[in-house]
Amino acid sequence: MAWAPVENALIEVQSAPAPMRFVGRQPIVDEKGCLFGYELLSRPKPANVPPSDPEAATREIVEYWSMLLTHRGDVPAFVNCTRASLIDGAVTLLPSSNTVLEILEDIEADPELIAACSALRKQGYRFALDDFSPHPSRAPLIELADLIKIDFLASDAKARREIYSMARGARIRFLAEKIETREERATALSEGCSVFQGYFFSRPVTVASRALPQNHLVYLWLLAALRRHPADLDEIERLVMADATLAYRVLRLANSVLHALQHDITTVRRALLMVGDDAMRRMVSVALASSLAGHRSSPLLSMALVRARFCELLAARIGAAPDELYLLGLLSLLDVLLETPIESILKVLPISSEMKSALAGQPSPQLVPLRLVCCLETCDWPQCEAIAHAAGLSEHAVAGLYLEAVRWGSAALRAL
């Protein structure tokens, strides 16, 4: 199972006259690879920028989560909290139904903090103990917590055994963070961790000789048909109808809030006709990505959708074709979705040589938006700024486009 690495929803948080700041989000998954939540991460300021109010990062996270929160059914957000934000109740601006408050490792567990957190817990907030250390002074926090986060890079097996021992008997889950390999995930699972976070499973273990299943070849033909101008609706309808799951997903998307049509759409033909050419290409591509994902984790599919939409939105800024960049973003995780080497896929993928070069990581003008979105995902801020600057893009523009892409990707994922 391939899980997505850091997927960052980057936004500009304006709090004049403070300088522009960015926030990212990192997926947290359960033992089955299903999305459990997101940790919201504040971008550190550059060295040449004076330090801000120590509560600024928490305020930025609050504003960011409020902008992304679209409905009460969203997965929980894990928010790093300062001592002051817990005691003065600033965190109550976040919904208790889907917020997990992280108590940082340097916050003293004194009676005032325990009382404040107990009151928050009565309001429905859950707690996670971040970078937990097996020190007796931290023991009072265990009764408040729903999760204990264990840093697998900073702790050894002995320290982890002490943590597990301290929490014995408590109704608590262990979250292994900074997991980077399958082996580390297996170790964490064997020790009793059931929730995971980190740069792991971003690429599959593949067999070079593995052949693409026949239905996946049909999907590739459909991708080629979607790129033709004008679109051949007869061909697209035929290919969609050849796969019942794909046809179902197209109908679900056509009837979702993504298109806000006045009447229910009950046939694939009508769905293709009603939403318009560009929307039709996006709709079928989203359904296609979901079918390709199959058993894959939702964070991975979400990443593919966000990449596609971000590249499409960026196209107008760099004078490229939106539908081509949309497809490029969507296909950029095809090797992970299919668990097949990209070289094998490119041999049968009916796309232009320029797009093949970009997917293979070779120098290409189309590689710019893909490189940019990958840097956003991994919080590689220096590279992100360098690519944006070379392309004549402001950080403000990049941040806004990425937030829009995340919102659209979340809506598309829910519609599926």
Instruction: Encode 198-224 in three state secondary structure.
Output: CCCCCCCCCCCCCCCCHHHHHHHHHHH
DSSP string across 134-197 = --GGGHHHHTT-SEEEEETTT--HHHHHHHHHHTTTS--EEEEES--SHHHHHHHHHTT--EEE
Alpha helix stretches (DSSP H) within 191-321: 214-227, 233-241, 244-254, 268-274, 277-293, 298-318
pLDDT tier for residue 16 given thresholds of 50, 70 and 90 = very low
* Residue from 303, 6, 341 nearest 205 by CA: 341
368-409: pLDDT as tens digits: 899 998 888 877 778 888 998 888 888 878 888 888 888 888
Pair 305, 337: CB distance under 8 Å: no
Residue 261: which residues within 8 A CB-CB, separation 6 or more? 254, 255, 274, 275
C-alpha span between 3 and 303 (Å, rounded)? 10
* Mean pLDDT, residues 72-88 taken together: 81
Query: What amino acid occupies position 311?
Result: C
Q: Given a cut of 70, is residue 193 above it in pLDDT? A: yes
Residue 182 predicted with pLDDT over 90: no
Q: By mean pLDDT, which of 42-46, 169-173, 350-354, 367-371 is the weakest?
A: 42-46
Question: Higher pLDDT residue, 22 or 74?
Answer: 74
Does the predicted TM-score (pTM) go above 0.85?
A: no
Q: How crowded is residue 411: how many other Cβ atoms within 10 Å of its Cβ?
A: 15
Cβ atoms 26, 197 nearer than 8 A:
yes
**% of the chain exceeding 90 in pLDDT:** 20
Domains along the sequence of the chain with CATH: 12-197 (3.20.20.450), 214-415 (1.10.3210.10)
The mean pLDDT of the chain is 77
Alpha-carbon distance of 336 to 38, in angstroms, equals 21
Identify the pLDDT of residue 110: 92
SS3 407: helix
Tell me which of 314 and 348 has the higher pLDDT. Answer: 314
Kindly report the number of other CB atoms within 10 A of residue 291's CB atom.
Answer: 22
CA distances from 314 to 311, 340, 375, 401 (A): 5, 28, 15, 7
Evaluate whether 359 touches 307 at the Cβ level (below 8 Å): no
Q: Which range among 43-47, 161-165, 214-218, 261-265 has the greatest average pLDDT?
A: 161-165
Do 226 and 219 meet the contact criterion of CB atoms below 8 Å apart? no
